Chains A and B, each alone.
Chain A
C-alpha cells in the first residue's frame, strides 16, 4: 500500500478492513472450504455496496471512484482482502466490469453492469490467451479451451478473447450458451475456485462483441495489467499480515528463558523479510500507479512486480512458517491459508518466469 493515502482512501481502507474483519475472518474462510462457489453471495453483495466492483467503471455507467484513478482505490480493497485471505472473485469481476464499462455497447452495459455492480452476479475473464474462433455469417463461433478460469463456474458472463482472421476480438458469452461446458477444478486455495471452460461450436451473435472486431489487443493488455496489479496488491497484503503475525509471535514465545525475538539470528531474518516486504509494497504500488495512469512503462512495471513479488512472497511466508515452529505446518494454524493464496497468485496470470521473459524481450528483443 502507498504510505500516503488521501483522506477518502484512509476512510475507505478502514471501512473495508472493519467489514472484512466482521464478515470474512479466517474462520469464515475455512467454513467455505467445501462450498462450491467458495464465497458467500450475500457477503459479496454487501462488499459490492461498499464499492468493490464499481471503482473501475465510469460514473456515467453506474460506477465511480474515490480518487482520480479507480485502480488506485481498488488495490486498497485487494490488499485488505489479502490480509485476511478473503474469498470473492475480485479480479475477474473488476476486469470484466471495467472492460464492459469502457468498450461495451449501451445494451451490454445495461445487461451486464447493474448485476456486477450490485454484486448479484459475477463474471469471469477467460484470460489473455485467445480461443480459436471463426466467422459464420453474423455470428462468431468458438472452438477451444480456457483454463484455469477463476469463478468460471459461478460466472453469469464470460469475457472471452477470440482469435479471428481480423485479429483478436472480445465477446461476452452468457453462461449456459449452447456449446459451452464449464468443469469446476480442484485447487490449492481453500476458497478461490477455478474451472475449465470448453467451447465446442459455441456461437454468439455480433451484439456479443465488446468493442470492435479484430481490435481487442490493447484491451487484453490492459486486462492482464489490471489483473496482475490487483493480484500483486493482494499478495502484498497477505505478506504484510503474515509478517506482523510472526513479529508478534516471536515476542510472545520463549526458549532458554528469553523471547525468540531476542535472538540475533532470528532478528536478522525478520530484518531481511521486512526489507523484501517493503520492496514488494514499493514495486506493487509502482505497478499500480503506472497502470492507473496508463503510462508507457505499465507493462514493464507490472512484469517487474510479478517477477519480484511472486517468489519473495512464497519465501517470506515459508520463512515465517519456519519461525513459528511445528504449529506452522498444521492445518489449524492460519499460515497455510496465506501460503496457499500467495502460491496461487505467484503462478496465476503468468509465472515469474513468464514475466521475466517479457522483460528480457523488452531489453533485448525476441530470440531468433
Chain B
C-alpha cells in the first residue's frame, strides 16, 4: 500500500507498480520545458487576470498528465507518492505554475474532499478541480469570530432533502471569483458546540447568496463577506456526517496548516515564498538597490533572511516526513504554520531595515524593490492570522503536541444555545 503525506492510500497497489521517481522526474523535466511558460514577475499578482491565467495553467498540467500527482487515479489524479510530487515541484521551480490554486483549492478543500467526500462527490468535483475549472474557498470564519471556529453561528435547518442556510461568513479570500465552497454551519443548537456542526459543499453564486468584497490594507479587494438568505443545500452535499462537521473541519485545518506551510502533498509546484532560497533574491536585490552590499550589518541581514528560508524548507521536510510515518502527530502541522508566519514577520522587518528610506516615496509608477518591501509590510500580519492565528497555533502545539493542560473554556458540555456571545467586529 502506498501512502501519501497524510497517511491516505493513494490508490496505487504497490510501490513496484509505480513509475520510478527518477523516470518521472526526467519525463516531467522534458514536459515542463516544452509546455509551461518561464516564471516571470507576475506570479504573485493577485488580479483577476492572473487568476484566470492560473486556471489555464492548471488545465495545461491536466492535459499533459501532470495534474493531481498524489490524488487518487479514480478521480483523475496520478496516484503517485509524495516523492514524485517533490520531484515534480523541484523540476517546476523555473516555471510559472498555478500557485494560487494550491491554497485553498487543491491543498485544503480538494484534500478534505479526498478524505471525507462520498464517491459521487469526488467524481463530481475532483476531475474539474484538477482541470482548473473549479476554484474553491472556505466558508469558516464569521463576523463574530474566527479563532473559535466551532462557535460559528451560521445555521442550516433541515427541511426534507435539503438544508436551509442562513447567516454570514467572512474573510473568505477571492470568493467573488470562485465557484464552490465548503461551509461549516450549525445544525443542532441543543448539544455542546462541537457536536452540532455540519460541513456542506455549496455553490457560491446562486440565489440567496450575496457576496461583498472587502478592501484590504494593500488596497486589493480579495477578502469577501457572504450573506446567506434561505439558501437551499441538498442533503447529498453534506461532507462527512450530519452534526459531525467538526471532525471534517479539524482535518481541513490540518490540511490547511500543511498547505500554508508548504508541506501539502496535494499542491503542484511550490510558490516562490516556500522555495528553498535560491530563487528568492528580493533581499539581495534590495541591498543592491540601496548600494549596501558591503555593509556588514546588511550582509548579516541578507544572510539571515536566506537562512530562514533554508531552515523553513528543512522544517517542512522534517515535520511532514514525521507526520507521514507517525513520528509526529497531525497537530505538528501547526509547527510549520507558526514557523512560516513568524518567518514572514522577521523577514519583513529585515526587508524594512535593508530598504531604509526607500519605503517613503518613489517616482509615480516606478516603485523599487525597497518600496515594494515597504508596501508588503503593511499586510505582514496576514499570514499570522489566516489559517488560524499564531496564538491559536501556539495553543495547539502546547496542548496537542506537548500535552500541556488545555485552556479553561466556558462553553464546554453545555448546549450551544446557552453559550454567552460577544460583539462582532463588523
Q: Which of B303, B327, B404 contacts A359 (CB 8 A)?
A: B303
A274 vs B303: C-alpha distance when bound (angstroms): 23
For residue A202, give the distance in angstroms from its CB to the closest CB of chain B.
Answer: 36
Take A264-B395, A367-B294 as given contacts and tell me if A356 and B314 are in contact as well, using a CB distance cutoff of 8 Å. no
**Residue interface mask A331-368, B partner, CB < 8 A = 1:** 00000000000000000000001011111100111011
Query: Is there contact, CB below 8 Å, between A360 and B318?
Result: no
By the criterion CB–CB under 8 Å, are B293 and A367 in contact? yes
CB neighbours (8 Å) of B61 from chain A are none
CA–CA, A262 and B391, complex, Å = 15
Contact A363:B303 (CB < 8 A) given known A274-B335, A368-B294: yes
- Distance in Å: Cβ of B301 to nearest Cβ of chain A: 9
* Residue in chain B with minimal CB distance to A367: B294
Q: A262-B404, A267-B404, A364-B287 are in contact. Are A357 and B299 (CB under 8 A)?
A: yes
Cα of A358 to Cα of B299 in the assembled complex, Å: 9
**In chain A, what residue has the closest Cβ to B317?**
A282
User: Given A271-B338, A271-B398, A282–B318 Cβ distance below 8 Å?
Assistant: yes
Beta-carbon nearest neighbor of A358 in chain B: B303
Chain B window 298-327, contacts with chain A (Cβ cutoff 8 Å), 1 for yes, 0 for no: 011011101110111011011101100101
Q: Evaluate contact between B404 and A278: CB separation under 8 angstroms.
A: no
Judging by beta carbons under 8 Å apart, are A363 and B307 in contact? no
Query: Which residues of B sit under 8 angstroms from A359, Cβ to Cβ?
Result: 302-303, 306-307
Bound state CA distance, A149 and B405, in angstroms?
47
Q: Tell me the chain B residues, 255-304 only, with Cβ under 8 Å from chain A.
A: 284, 287-288, 293-294, 296, 299-300, 302-304
Contact present for B405 and A356 (CB under 8 Å): no
In the complex, number of A-B residue pairs with CB atoms less than 8 Å apart:
129
Confirm or deny: B402 has a beta carbon within 8 angstroms of a beta carbon on chain A: yes
Pick out which of these stretches binds chain B: A24-32, A44-52, A84-92, A301-309.
Answer: A301-309
Say yes or no: is B339 at the interface (Cβ < 8 Å to chain A): yes
A247 vs B399: C-alpha distance when bound (angstroms) = 12
Given A274-B397, A279-B339, A364-B287: A356 and B404 within 8 A (CB)? Answer: no
Q: Is B402's CB under 8 angstroms from A270's CB?
A: yes
CB interface residues, A 237-288, toward B, < 8 Å: 247, 250-251, 259, 261-262, 264, 267-268, 270-272, 274-275, 278-279, 281-283, 285-286
Q: Report yes or no: A268 in contact with B339, Cβ–Cβ below 8 A.
A: no
C-alpha spacing A83/B425, complex, angstroms: 48
A3: interface (CB < 8 Å): yes
Which residues of the other chain, B, contact A365 by a CB distance below 8 angstroms?
293
Complex CA distance for A272 and B314, rounded to whole angstroms: 17
Interface residue? B401 (CB, 8 A): yes
B374-406 vs A, CB cutoff 8 Å, 1 = contact: the mask equals 000000000000000001011101110110110
Q: Which residues of B contact A278 (CB under 8 A)?
A: 315, 318-319, 335, 339
The answer to whether B214 has its CB under 8 Å from any CB of chain A is no
Q: Which of B304, B327, B405 interacts with A259 by CB under 8 Å?
A: B405
Give the contacting residue for A3; candidates B300, B328, B404; CB below 8 A: B328
Give, as a whole number of angstroms, the nearest-CB distance from B349 to chain A: 16
Chain A residues in 8 Å Cβ range of B391: 268
A4 contacts B by Cβ under 8 Å:
yes
Cβ contact of B398, chosen from A3, A4, A259, A270, cutoff 8 A:
A270
Q: How far is the CB of B346 from chain A (nearest CB, A)?
A: 12
Residue B23, interface by CB 8 Å: no
- Contact A356-B318, Cβ < 8 Å, known A3-B327, A282-B311, A304-B307: no
> Which residues of A197-219 are within 8 A (CB) of B?
none
Q: Are A275 and B302 in contact (CB under 8 A)?
A: no
Pair A360/B339 contact, Cβ less than 8 Å: no
Q: Are A283 and B314 in contact (CB under 8 A)?
A: yes
Count of chain B residues near A, Cβ 8 A: 43
Q: Closest approach, in angstroms, between the C-beta of A119 and any C-beta of chain B?
A: 33
A356–B283 alpha-carbon span in the complex (Å): 14
Bound Cα distance A4, B323 (Å):
11
Judge whether A271 and B318 touch: CB under 8 Å: no
In the complex, B45 has a CB within 8 A of chain A = no
* Binary flags per residue of B334-349, CB closer than 8 Å to A gives 1, else 0: 0100110010000000
B407 within 8 A of A: yes
Contact indicator A353/B300 (Cβ below 8 Å)? yes
CB nearest to B401 among chain A residues: A274
CB distance from A231 to the nearest CB of B (A): 17
Give A365 to B287 CA distance when docked, in angstroms. Answer: 12
What A residues does B327 contact at CB under 8 A? Answer: 3-4
The distance from the CB of A250 to the nearest CB of chain B, in whole angstroms, is: 7
Q: Taking the nearest CB of chain A, how far is it from the CB of B389, in angstroms?
A: 11
On chain B, the residues within 8 Å of A356 by CB distance are: 299-300, 303-304, 307
**Closest Cβ–Cβ distance, residue B71 to chain A (whole Å):** 25
**A267 touches which of B303, B304, B319, B398 (Cβ 8 Å):** B398
Query: Could you tell me if A364 and B302 are in contact, using CB atoms closer than 8 angstroms?
Result: yes
Report Cα–Cα, A109/B306, bound state, in Å: 41
Known contacts A259-B405, A356-B300, A364-B302; decide if A275 and B284 are in contact (CB<8 Å). Answer: no
Least Cβ–Cβ distance between A72 and chain B, in angstroms: 15
Given A356-B303, A357-B300, A359-B303: A275 touches B404 (CB 8 Å cut-off): no
Give the CA-CA distance A250 to B325 in the complex, in Å: 29
Instruction: Name the distance in Å between A6's Cβ and chain B's nearest Cβ.
Output: 13
A357 x B296 contact (CB < 8 A): yes
Known: A261-B404, A267-B394, A275-B338. 10 other contacts (CB 8 A): A267-B398, A270-B398, A270-B402, A274-B397, A274-B402, A275-B335, A282-B315, A308-B307, A356-B300, A364-B302
What are 19 inter-chain pairs, A to B, with CB distance below 8 A? Answer: A261-B404, A264-B395, A267-B404, A268-B398, A270-B402, A271-B398, A271-B402, A275-B339, A278-B319, A282-B311, A285-B318, A304-B306, A356-B303, A363-B284, A363-B306, A364-B287, A364-B288, A364-B302, A367-B293
Name A's B-contacting residues (CB within 8 A): 3-4, 247, 250-251, 259, 261-262, 264, 267-268, 270-272, 274-275, 278-279, 281-283, 285-286, 300-301, 303-304, 307-308, 353, 355-360, 363-365, 367-368
- Interface residue ranges, B against A (CB under 8 Å): 284, 287-288, 293-294, 296, 299-300, 302-304, 306-308, 310-312, 314-315, 317-319, 321-322, 325, 327-328, 335, 338-339, 342, 391, 393-395, 397-399, 401-402, 404-405, 407
The 8 closest A-B pairs by CB, nearest first: A367-B294, A267-B398, A360-B299, A356-B303, A271-B394, A359-B303, A271-B397, A282-B314
